[in-house]
Each structure stands twice: as structure tokens, then as C-alpha cells.
Amino acid sequence: MEGRTLVLCTANAGKVTEMRAMMPAGWQVLSLAEAGIREELPETGSTLEENALQKARTAHALCGLPCIADDTGLEVDALGGAPGVYSARYAGPERDDRANVRKLLDVLSGSVDRRAHFRTVIAWVEAGAEHLFEGRVDGSITTEENGAGGFGYDPVFRPEGSELTFAEMERGEKNAISHRGRAMARFAEWMKGR
Ligand code: IMP
């Protein structure tokens, strides 16, 4: 049983539900609380990879089960890849989505190059092995907010080939092409072969 249990390092119940839905049969997904981990996991790396690994390694050291953690960033070409690993705290430590979006629109005002991509890195850490899975979606930053769905930077991110921002899409439509959806699909595919 224990070998078929993994811990998803997140406090976000939505992510746990999403992950349970995509796991191969026989695997049980625990949240941090369900694995008895109450402390906040450190996230002090300077790349998405470092942060994801840091969270998964810390949780694995605490509970001994295989652990996975993800980290996501919005990387804007005209800003040299910023806000990137600092996306959540772009406008300050409060991690305020609305303020982050307003700051991004402000910083990019007048910029013709609006190319950007989201990148998600998922880290898997178990006894004796670590793996990374990446998902990416290319697109552009709109000049104003559009749509009420989603979260974070969704109202200003329009994926390549679409007229809509992520916030204007149905959830399934976004997940099918999103950075996180793609990283999770890669991870789920790898899990099937275990
Ligand atoms: P986290 O790694 O999931 O905590 O996300 C880091 C930052 O990226 C936060 O500011 C999130 O709001 C933002 N973010 C993550 N995923 C998405 C997404 O799918 N759409 C829009 N913003 C996102």
C-alpha cells in the first residue's frame, strides 16, 4: 500500500482533486495535511526547478513517502523572463493576483513585444530517485484584462492560436493546453510505466 501512495505538496485543495483525477489506478494521493505535514515548506530557490525540488525534498524527508511538488512562473520576453520564479510576489509579499496583473500591464504599457509563456515544473522525489517534468504554453500578454474565469494572470494571458485569454476559456479548454496540464500529462504518462 505504502509504495502506491504519494504526497502532493500543496495547500491548494483544487490541485489535489485535479491530481487525483489523473493518477493511474491503484495510486493514492495525499495532501500535506493528510500526510501529517503541518509546517510551511521552504521555497527559497532562484529557479522553478530549485523550488519544486526543495518542496518535494523537504516533504519527503519529513514523511518518507514519494512526494511531488510543482512551481509555476510567467516568463515575459520583454522583461528578460521576469517575473518568472517571482510571479506570485511580483507586486509584493501579499501574493495579490489583482495587484500582480495591474503591475504587469503597467510595466508593459507601450511595449510592442508582448510575448510570454507559462512554465510549470513538477518535481518527484522518492528514496533514491528524483525526476523533473516540465510543461509550457506560449502566448502573449493582452493590453487589458479580459474574462472572469481562472486565477492569477489568466485575464491577461492569451495562448498562441487563440482569440481568448485563459480567463475567458472553460476550465477544460484551458487545462488541455495549459503549462500545468501539460506537465501533469507528462508526469501521469511516466507514472503509468511504473
Ligand atoms: P504557483 O507556483 O502555482 O504558486 O504559481 C505562481 C504564480 O503564478 C502565482 O502568482 C499564480 O497566480 C500564477 N499562476 C500559476 N498558474 C497559473 C495559471 O494557470 N494561470 C494564471 N496564473 C497562474
Q: How far is the CA of 29 from the centre of ligand 1 (A)?
A: 21
Burial 80-111 (b: 16+ CB within 10 A, else e): eebbbbebbebbeeeeebeebbeebbebbeee
Catalytic, 96? Answer no
Residue 75 near ligand 1, beta carbon < 6 Å: no
Q: What is the pLDDT of residues 31-74, one digit of tens each?
A: 999 999 999 999 999 999 999 999 999 999 999 999 999 999 99
Q: Where are the domains of the chain?
A: 2-192
The residue whose C-alpha atom lies closest to atom 16 belonging to ligand 1 is 72
Residue 151 near ligand 1, beta carbon < 6 Å: yes
Low-confidence ranges of the chain (pLDDT < 70): 1-3
User: Looking at ligand 1, which atom is closest to the CA of residue 100?
Assistant: 10
163: exposed, middle or buried (C-beta count within 10 Å: 0-12, 13-18, 19+)?
A: exposed
Selected catalytic residue, list 70, 71, 138, 154: 71
CATH hierarchy code of domain 2-192: 3.90.950.10
